[in-house]
Amino acid sequence: MGVELIQLPILLLIFFVLLFGIGFILNMLLKTTYLPMYLYVVVLLPVVVYLQWDSSLTLTGNLLGYHFTDYLTALAGLIGAWLGGKTIQTLRTKGYKMF
């Protein structure tokens, strides 16, 4: 089942905004800069790959099972988490204190 062209920008925007918001709040509360980005790469992406893993296929077969939209969605989430950290870092250097 593929994603239609009208759904793709909405999907990318939702993942970007979702991870930007989560990253921004985590950075604000935990006073870290890039923790949400590391958590996304180390925890969330492997969990998604593990849950959809087919043991009858090889590693390349499993990775080729994902479509271009899946990779774009993961990239949009990663960019959102990175930009959330960058925003908090910029706000801190300009003197804003969040808690």
The pLDDT profile of the chain, 99 residues, written as one tens digit per residue, is 677 888 999 999 999 999 999 999 998 888 888 888 888 889 888 888 888 888 888 888 888 888 888 899 999 999 999 999 999 999 999 998 875
Buried b (16+ CB within 10 A) or exposed e, 71-85: eebbebbbbbbbbbb
Does residue 46 lie within any of the structural domains?
A: yes
CA distances, 58 to each of 44, 53, 54, 90 (Å): 21, 10, 8, 43
Task: Answer positive or negative: Cα dihedral of 20, 29, 98, 35.
Answer: negative
Does residue 99 lie within any of the structural domains?
A: no
Does residue 76 lie within any of the structural domains?
A: yes
Does the pTM surpass 0.85? The reply is no
pLDDT value of position 32? 83
Cα–Cα distance for residue pair 12/23, rounded to 1 Å: 16
What total number of domains does the chain contain?
A: 1
Domain range holding 58? Answer: 7-92
pLDDT value of position 20? 96
Does residue 1 lie within any of the structural domains?
A: no
